[in-house]
Amino acid sequence: MSRARLWHFHGGLKLDSRTARPASEPLLEIPVPPRLVLPLSQHVGQQAEAVVSPGERVLRGQPIARPSGYVAAKVHASSSGTVVAIEDHPVPHPSGLAAPCIIIETDGLDEPWGGYEPLQDYCTLDGVELRARVRAAGVVGLGGAAFPTAVKLGAGAGLKMLILNGAECEPYICCDEVLLKERPEEVLAGAQVLLRALEIDRCCIAIEEDKPLARQALEAAIAAAGETRIEVVSVPAIYPEGGERQLIKVLTGEEVPARGLPPDIGYLCHNVGTAAAVARAVLGGEPLISRIVTVTGGGVARPRNLQVRLGTPIAALVAACGGYTDEARHLLMGGAMMGFPLPDDSVPVVKATNCVVVASGEDIQPRAPAMPCIRCGECAEVCPAQLLPQQLYWHAHAGELDRLDEYHLFDCIECGCCDVVCPSQLPLTQYFRYAKTELWARDRDRARSDLARDRFESRRARIEAEQETRRRRLEEKTRAANAARGDEDARKAMIDEALERVQARRDDDRADDDK
């Protein structure tokens, strides 16, 4: 099936695909490594809290960290073994810094926990119960953002359509393509569960037009199931069409408002890998403990897609693909356009690890020295968010943070299109990331200052109220004491008067006796 009409988003680039070789290889599940490193923060939101201790034995699928807030996700043991440490360890993050991790030495048994029961008849549950199962399984977005799926499923009423995103626009990533070719039934089942959870009856699955085998496999699965609520749509292979705002524009012609979210206009987007994870969680009782990762680039011997347990070191993935070649120069996670460098291959696979690029010199060409902006406007022409990157650059370079907000900096999706076309070789996206960080830091400082001021004013008001209360109580006590003292004086005067009268009568009686 395909829609009669598609729309176009502003800008974008037609990039050469580098997925032919890894996409042609069958999916390979690699063995559980001797050591698993599971970061407590593998998702957008608050870091999870460990619920196990060093020396404790854990089983495959057992929760080892609980959510510490609403926007958070559980972490589960990827295999059975013993917790040997909870400590900082290098993790895949643009900062390159270490973060708290639970480290498990596996025992080779891969013994299941069994705490989550499979549920084939998911229609017996309502949306709230299904969201609870998804939350318990620790499912997050597997397209790279890693936003907790259960939170997105709580978008509320008014949704018109569920959109499953299979449009991998990064030139090196093909994990979703391989999933759709080899396990289309999982994606279909996940779509059906999501429709039930959202209580809607319309789903669109978008696949790029240069992936015909993936589209055919999914359409065959839909036809075999007799499913009429789900439509497969081929979309042009234009980067960054995989962005949810761009994909919504292409499929519906509608635009998500600035600072808004897709549910604001009736749409909810999930990655096809996320849908498959939902199916395994709800129907199979399996929490999110593994994912498909594309390992590619000129620096690895045999690029392919791997089914990998979370916590597996990147070195094990490279080894499963034949090891490094002499051309290996850099390690990237997330693709060549929006990815970031990894410090070394000891960092673990996390929920957001969709691709590892072992880059050669041919994969990543060194940038020429940056020259002054010539205001050619090419960056604005390709910007999918319809921003003015040259203006953002000037204000970021000058540190004019308030002006950046006026030019909608936070609508930037950091796709890197402006970097590619800039004739001056300016690292525009780096400037924008830095500026966002500065704005976030400023907002945090302001929030702390506001909180401190509110606390000070509240404390001062509380002290003044306590002082006023004490003053009033003292006045009341004083009045009561004065009143009591006045009553005592009156009683004393009455007694004195009575005594005087008695004494006067006695004196009168003695005077009479003398006569």
Look up the CATH number of the domain holding residue 121. 3.40.50.11540
Q: DSSP class of residue 123? A: G
Residues 273, 387: one domain?
no
pTM, full prediction: 0.86
Provide the residue count of the chain.
Answer: 515
Residues 426, 283: one domain?
no
The answer to whether 164 and 206 have CB atoms below 8 angstroms apart is yes
Q: What is the pLDDT of residue 34?
A: 98
Helix (H, G, I), strand (E, B) or coil at 426: coil
Residues 217, 107: one domain?
yes
Q: Which tens digit of pLDDT belongs to each residue from 499-511?
A: 887 787 777 767 6
Place of tokens 């069994």: 114
Residues 161, 257: one domain?
yes
Among 291, 321, 337, where does a domain finish?
Answer: 291
Nearest to 52 by CA among 68, 33, 75: 75
Higher pLDDT, 448 or 512: 448
Given its phi and psi angles, is residue 356 left (phi above 0), alpha (psi -120 to 50 degrees) or beta? beta
Residues 386, 283: one domain?
no
Q: What is the pLDDT of residue 2?
A: 46
Higher pLDDT, 404 or 515: 404
36 lies in some domain: yes
360 lies in some domain: no
Q: DSSP class of residue 27? A: P
Count of structural domains within the chain: 2
| E-state strands within 22-132 | 28-29, 35-39, 49-50, 57-58, 63-66, 75-76, 81-90, 98-106
Among 291, 307, 326, where does a domain finish?
Answer: 291
Residues 272, 386: one domain?
no
Given its phi and psi angles, is residue 45 left (phi above 0), alpha (psi -120 to 50 degrees) or beta? left
Residues 287, 383: one domain?
no
Across 210-237, average pLDDT:
97
Place of tokens 């070719």: 181
Residues 273, 389: one domain?
no
DSSP string, 254-290: --PPTT--GGGGTEEEEEHHHHHHHHHHHHH---S-E
414 lies in some domain: yes
Q: Which tens digit of pLDDT belongs to each residue from 347-391?
A: 999 999 999 999 998 888 788 899 999 999 999 999 999 999 999
Among 228, 260, 291, where does a domain finish?
Answer: 291
Strand partners, 75: 65
Q: Which residues constitute the domain of residue 179?
A: 20-291
Residues 109, 239: one domain?
yes
Helix (H, G, I), strand (E, B) or coil at 10: coil
Which amino acid makes up residue 382? Answer: V
Q: Which tens digit of pLDDT belongs to each residue from 130-155?
A: 999 999 999 999 998 899 999 999 98
Residues 281, 158: one domain?
yes
The answer to whether 237 and 209 have CB atoms below 8 angstroms apart is yes
2 lies in some domain: no
- CA 273 from centre of chain: 16
Structure tokens at 251: 């499929």
Strand partners, 294: 305, 355
Q: Which stretch of 115-119, 290-294, 357-361 has the lowest confidence by average pLDDT? A: 115-119
Structure tokens at 379: 């960056």
Residues 69, 159: one domain?
yes
DSSP string, 311-365: T-BHHHHHHHTT-B-TT--EEEES-TTT-EE-S-TTSBP-TT--EEEEE-TTTSP
β-bridge pairing 304-309 and 290-296: antiparallel
133 lies in some domain: yes
CA distance 266 to 264: 6
Higher pLDDT, 348 or 399: 348
Across 409-415, average pLDDT:
94
300 lies in some domain: no
335 lies in some domain: no
482 lies in some domain: yes
Which amino acid makes up residue 168? Answer: E
Residues 263, 379: one domain?
no
Q: What is the pLDDT of residue 1?
A: 41
